Chains A and B, each alone.
Chain A
Amino acid sequence: MRDKEGVLLAGLAEHGVSRRTFMKFCTTLASLMALPAASGVAMAEALATARRPSVIWLHFQECTGCTESITRSHSPTIEGLIFDLISLDYQETLMAAAGHQAEEALHKAMKDNEGKYLLIVEGSIAQGLNGAYSTVAGRSNLDTLKEVAKGAAAIVAVGSCASYGGIPKANPNPTSAASVSDIIKDKPIVNIPGCPPIPVVMTGVMAHFLTFGSLPELDKLGRPKAFYGETIHDRCYRRAFYDQGKFAKTFDDEGARNGWCLFELGCKGPVTYNACATTKWNGGTSWPVESGHGCLGCSEPDFWDAGSFYKALSMPANPLKVASGVAAVGAAVGVAVSLANRAKKGAAKAAHETTTLPDLEK
């Protein structure tokens, strides 16, 4: 139990995390984000004495996988402890309250911290039927988002659904799902895509916010460059096999067992920006390619519609539909032209006027 104004270090000490370990964590985090060495110290100082900002976490059309990923705490991880650093005033999965009490907590947090709270959104926003496809406490997600966003200092769209629309947006998009940035245009938004995203990415962004009071440098799609600046392909430990053309052809052939590149089995590594190849998952245990399965491209927009996960990038994304029809048109045109040609040639032959000597003169 900590009071609202409590500082992190005391709390950490309570959990048996020494100051040295904490420093090491901060420098690691800083270097992961390619910040200068001094930032690690700055981060430590800032975090140690930070006031705990209010954080409101909204859940819309989502599977809760992002929450699961980010709160996955082994024993305990420092990621989890960061959550002690913030005042998580509303989080449907984690909070103890339910029903009216939960809604009251939301409105109180909004009122008390107006203009200053961090809004985290998980899940896409249904726009169809005026938003009626997804409601909480009798209000559409669409309305809720617009209202809560008004008083937020910044918004973090966590997961591919909030960042781009995700699986609800996949063909045929029955609920007209949209991303946070499709709807909110007047607030700074950082997208942390992934299905789900990597925990340390979340932590890094929050640490940056708390240390520097701003969001880290973002790419064109609003993703922190520190974690989404390189493709999986460019950091993949199997890259040498790609460069040589050594590919696994099936999931249990010799190539697969030798750890060869998974391009032919559909790996989307070359077109996917994320940090999986460097930070890996589950505290550095492994990640999809290392386990022998190609990258799905889950941190990219519309990856669900980018063709089969098991079709290589050089293969057609979908089966060809119009090709044979169009080809048949060609055969028909060809036959028609042939008939016209032969008729013309025949007519010319039939109209042949035998040339005699005078006919050589104009």
Chain B
Amino acid sequence: MSASLEKGVRVLKEVIDAPIASYFNSCVHCGLCAEACLFYTETGDPKYTPIHKLEPMRRLYEQEYTALGRLKKLVGLSKAVTDAELAEWQELVYNSCTLCGRCSVVCPVGNDIVYMIRKFREGMSASGNAPEGIKGAANRTIKIGSPMGVKLPAVRAQMRHVEEDFGLPIPMDAEGAEYLVMLSSMEIMNFPEYLGAIAKIMHQAGKTWTLCSTAFEATNAGMQIGNSDLARVIVSRIVEGAEKLKVKTVISPECGHAYTALRWEGANLMGRPFGFKVRHIIEVLGEFQEQGLLKTEGFETDRLTFHDPCQLARRGGVIKQQRNLMNMVAKNFVEMPDAGFMNWCCGGGGGASAIEEGEELRMEAFKKKKSQFDTVKPDRVVTACANCRIVMEEGLEHYKMNLPVVGLTEMIADHLPNPVVTKPEGN
């Protein structure tokens, strides 16, 4: 019970850097960021304007790091940031922001607003103003090992099921394997086909891989809550595991923020570059496709579209690979309006889907995703993030739309010929 405004302020002072200073001083109140944010476009409420979500941090920056701001605070023209204010801003910084980054790419003066929200969350969490839902997820991740509370025995159970169903071994703690495969709770619990798909793909590609008993969970609730200290704890498990098993590449699963946490923030959290590579499963599949290691057969014939997870495409730079993979196994692949780099968020990323009190807002924001589907009228939606899948399923149900959501990795694996493997114990 030691979170305090003072701590939060100190943390914010620590994380505010030249980019943030430059951004705050460049904002001209043009309002274009609001037009890019689905929480504004679907509600019409200007308080969801992205740059407005940062107002306490802006004032703090001005008061701490500018001469005139210091003077204004001294003479009472600028009020100090209060704990009540931060509490009020919780809804804006967490419920109505999925860190999708659309605002950042439209800002005409070049402000990276999502970068600032991420840093603002450091202060919010240290001052005790993070939402209950994500705090719960963080608790479970750190104490138990996964945000949904999945423990190793549950993982082992899933491994056995998959081995039986697919006839392929699922290695764990295999030292020297080329790939360390990470999972997300969502996959273990809701989409276990993913593990089988991985096994099939790796088998066909002839690659060695393994799971890690001490680091099977990729989801980083510390990232979502926005606390580097907690995020570091979670990432370091993966780094230790990867180094212990001496793998070449760690594969981040079909999860958005897990990728961002490990691939882009991981080394900075650890304070040193990694000795291994980090790749998203779609990147790896893309590489395999290029190298001709994926020999697929057959095609999906129904009308398919692809939802680009924000952290993979716009924030992660993986845009072409999923399209090449889709075209490899789908005859009737159509793009939604704004697909790819400018895709609209599912509305549940960045920890938002864990916030119960934010559900109504998420459902309203989902109207944007719904409108994309209504334009294209697909038979099914394909995506590459388990959280997007759950969020979209919930949204589609809310709007009574019958539209199945499937994962890309599984779809690829479905089109690989079944493996012919002699079981270790013989038939």
Tell me if chain B binds chain A: yes
Assess the A348–B4 pair: CB atoms within 8 A: no
Assess the B3–A348 pair: CB atoms within 8 A: no
Which residues 303-362 of A sit at the B interface, judged by CB distance below 8 A? Answer: 333, 337, 341, 344-345, 348-349, 351-362
Which residues 1-40 of B sit at the A interface, judged by CB distance below 8 A? Answer: 1-4, 7, 10-11, 13-14, 16
Assess the A345–B1 pair: CB atoms within 8 A: no
Assess the B138–A360 pair: CB atoms within 8 A: yes
Which residues 201-251 of B sit at the A interface, judged by CB distance below 8 A? Answer: 225, 227, 229-230
Assess the B65–A362 pair: CB atoms within 8 A: no
Residues of chain A contacted by B225 (CB below 8 angstroms): 360
Complex CA–CA separation, A337 to B64 (angstroms): 11
Residues of chain A contacted by B16 (CB below 8 angstroms): 345
| Interface status of B200 (Cβ within 8 A of chain A) | no
Name A346's closest neighbour in chain B (CB-CB): B14
Assess the B67–A344 pair: CB atoms within 8 A: no
Complex CA–CA separation, A352 to B128 (angstroms): 16
* Chain A min CB distance to B387 (Å): 21
* Chain B min CB distance to A50 (Å): 72
Known: A354-B229, A360-B138. A348 touches B14 (CB 8 A): yes
Assess the A362–B229 pair: CB atoms within 8 A: no
Q: How many residues of A contact B (CB 8 A)?
A: 19
Q: How many residues of B contact A (CB 8 A)?
A: 29
Complex CA–CA separation, A352 to B230 (angstroms): 14
Assess the B10–A359 pair: CB atoms within 8 A: no
| Interface status of B384 (Cβ within 8 A of chain A) | no
Residues of chain A contacted by B138 (CB below 8 angstroms): 357, 360
Assess the B67–A362 pair: CB atoms within 8 A: no
* Interface SS majority for chain B: helix
| Interface status of B268 (Cβ within 8 A of chain A) | no
Residues of chain B contacted by A353 (CB below 8 angstroms): 7
Which of A337, A345, A357 meets B67, CB within 8 Å? A337
Residues of chain A contacted by B64 (CB below 8 angstroms): 344
Residues of chain B contacted by A348 (CB below 8 angstroms): 10-11, 13-14
| Interface status of B135 (Cβ within 8 A of chain A) | yes
Assess the B14–A356 pair: CB atoms within 8 A: no
Residues of chain A contacted by B139 (CB below 8 angstroms): 357
Known: A344-B65, A345-B16, A355-B230. A362 touches B10 (CB 8 A): no
Mask: chain A, 106-136; 1 = CB below 8 Å from B; 0 = not: 0000000000000000000000000000000
Assess the B10–A358 pair: CB atoms within 8 A: no
Residues of chain A contacted by B1 (CB below 8 angstroms): 358, 361-362
Please list 21 pairs of residues, one from A and one from B, whose beta carbons are closer than 8 Å in the complex, sorted by A's number.
Answer: A333-B67, A337-B66, A341-B65, A344-B13, A344-B64, A344-B65, A345-B16, A348-B13, A351-B10, A352-B11, A357-B139, A358-B2, A359-B2, A359-B3, A360-B225, A361-B1, A361-B2, A361-B135, A362-B4, A362-B83, A362-B127
| Residue positions of B touching A, CB distance < 8 A | 1-4, 7, 10-11, 13-14, 16, 64-67, 83, 125-128, 130, 135, 138-139, 142-143, 225, 227, 229-230
| Residue positions of A touching B, CB distance < 8 A | 333, 337, 341, 344-345, 348-349, 351-362
Of all A-B residue pairs in the complex, the 3 with the closest CB atoms, nearest first, are: A362-B128, A348-B13, A348-B14
